[in-house]
Structure 1
Amino acid sequence: MPSNTGFPRADAENDFLRVRRRQVLSRLGAWLRRAPDDVNIMLPFDEVVSALGLLGERSLGRQVIGLDSIAGSVDRGREFDRRFRPTTARSRQRWERLALAQRRGEAIPPIDVYRVGELHFVSDGHHRVSVALALGMTTIEAFVTEVQTKLDASGIRYRGDLIVKDYRRIFLDRVPLHGQARAAVVLSDPWDYAELGEHIEAWGFRLMQDEGTFIDRTTIARRWHDEEFVPVVRMLRQAEMIGERTEAEAYMWVSGERYRLIRTHRWDDDVIAAVRAQGRSQ
């Protein structure tokens, strides 16, 4: 907690030393725990928007936002850690001036942020955010620009999460699922999206051969979901073979086992029984 000795200038100096000490200890703790490299790194705005797919943006004007919703930066990610603690002492004088003004109750200009889903990314006002957090504040005024993206930002905590989002966006460009079908196909491993995309495109090619006509991507995606994915998942649920996997992961697993064991693209109870028996024998 910030100290309050009655001497604002001294308190502001102590504020900076306190947050710098915590930043160093946090980095040391992460190193000792062998935590991932991105655990203390704020999310980079450009990489997030690239992974999610930019659609457009609009100004929402001046608002009060929660400091805990600020997840990253537009261009100052190296000067502060994930909790907006300074990573060096280079900006100490500027930081302490803002802390002193805040402690004296002086007016502080709103920051500028981009909003992606429920996350905010600072484009101007990094030091103001850092000081506000150090002084125990929970909200801050900001001029907000909302960014619309193809994918939602849910589930993004660390930089590594962007890989999954990026591969999912590419997958949905190849396999344009919509509505409940889109929500149902979820994978944990980003590389699985590429494999599933290849699988569905091959399924669509066989469908066109069988029907002797061209079928567009949207129709293939819809028919794959309705005629292939849903029935297979239903059989897997009845056979209690999904376990801790997502439905899409279970589908990919049983599809691979089916072809490896039986060399067929058909689905019936015999196929499920064969895969199940193989799993028990291993």
Structure 2
Amino acid sequence: MSDELGSRVKDDFFHARFKAFLNGVQAALTGRPDTLLSYDEVKEKLRIGGPIYRGVQAVPIKRIVGSLNRYQQFDRAFLPKKDDTAGRWQRVDRAFYEEVSLPPVVLYKVGKVYFVVDGHHRVSVAREQGQEFIDAEVRECSTKINITPDLRPEDLEILGEKVNFLERTALDRIRPQANIKLTIPDGFSRMLEHIAVHRYFMGLDLKRDVSDAEAVAHWYEAVYLPIIRVIRESDILMDFPGKTEGDLYLWVLDHQRYLSATGHNLKPPDEAARDFVQGVEE
């Protein structure tokens, strides 16, 4: 039985490595990395806080997307990428078949995803064996944005800009229901410029100083939302797969800037959005 089990765990590791190889080939062909997220990089880009101990929990394995320090040894599906992990991986796999109880893994939770601090091989084997949950000591880190399992390494730059945007504007506190999403690099920086210009003209109209919070709230209600409502009513977003309402907001204002530069009068946000929609549909 021991020899049979030894052969079985070796075969399991071979199949896991082969699947990791295929994932790597697909990643190279598509240009989409299949790497785990680095906790340190996420911490730096998104300026997360914590961690705070939350006790032992049953964690969905599909939400474990990164690692504290071994993100180069496993791919995004937690398949082993290196042969030198074979010994430890097979020992954990053997424990699975022998129904040996292993200690909980240790995870950092950020938003809706988890990063492995300790227990990479246990997560890898559990996922390969089809487990949906794994027992884990969870330490939760605070974050201003909602991170989901589909987060990719290339998304971090834009999300880092979003964190800066929220820290500068406090929009998440002023309008908690607001959840602006962008795929355009420097988009949030451009929105900060829009708010600054909006604040300037508010001050001229009101003949008084306008606070940051007042300017942000008025920009959101009087500029951003009217454009978004037109976008939603027109269903134009369906014509731009992979783009967001926030992206189209930026395009509407780019269109306005172009018209202004060519001698046309500026229009209210909702009218500008309708002109943009009409131009796309034509």
TM-score strictly above 0.5:
yes
Specify which of 242, 257, 260 is matched with residue 258 of structure 2: 260
2:165 and 2:48 map into 1 onto residues whose CA distance is 16
1:182 paired residue number: 178
Q: C-alpha displacement at 1:72, in angstroms?
A: 0.9
Greater Rg by CA? 1
Name the count of aligned residue pairs: 273
Q: C-alpha displacement at 1:12, in angstroms?
A: 1.4
Give identity over the alignment, percent.
27
Establish whether residue 248 from structure 1 lines up as the match of residue 243 from structure 2. no
2:269 and 2:64 map into 1 onto residues whose CA distance is 50
Q: Tell me, what secondary structure is at the counterpart of 1:91?
A: helix
Q: Which runs of 5+ in 2 are unaligned?
A: none
1:222 paired residue number: 217
* Structure 1 residues 261 and 77, CA gap change in structure 2 (3 angstroms): same
Alignment deviations for residues 196-216 of structure 1 (CA, whole Å, 9 cap, x no partner):
221221221222233333322
Establish whether residue 103 from structure 1 lines up as the match of residue 101 from structure 2. no
1:140 and 1:166 map into 2 onto residues whose CA distance is 30
1:188-203, aligned counterparts within 5 Å? Answer: 188-203=183-198
* Structure 1 residues 121 and 214, CA gap change in structure 2 (3 angstroms): same
Q: Which runs of 5+ in 1 are unaligned?
A: none
1:73 and 1:176 map into 2 onto residues whose CA distance is 30
* Structure 1 residues 189 and 14, CA gap change in structure 2 (3 angstroms): same
TM-score (norm: length of structure 1): 0.83
Amino acid in structure 2 at the alignment position of 1:219: E
Asked if structure 1 preserves the Cα contact closer than 8 Å seen for 2:5 and 2:94, the reply is yes
Establish whether residue 13 from structure 1 lines up as the match of residue 14 from structure 2. no
Q: Tell me, what secondary structure is at the counterpart of 1:250?
A: helix
2:227 and 2:73 map into 1 onto residues whose CA distance is 50
Specify which of 77, 81, 90 is matched with residue 83 of structure 1: 77
1:27 paired residue number: 24
Q: Which has the larger displacement, 215-224 or 245-254?
A: 245-254
Specify which of 199, 202, 210 is matched with residue 207 of structure 1: 202
TM-score (norm: length of structure 2): 0.83
Q: C-alpha displacement at 1:221, in angstroms?
A: 0.3
- Root-mean-square deviation (CA), in Å? 3.0
1:170 paired residue number: 164
Amino acid in structure 1 at the alignment position of 2:85: S
1:268 and 1:115 map into 2 onto residues whose CA distance is 40
1:139 and 1:154 map into 2 onto residues whose CA distance is 17
Q: Tell me, what secondary structure is at the counterpart of 2:6?
A: helix
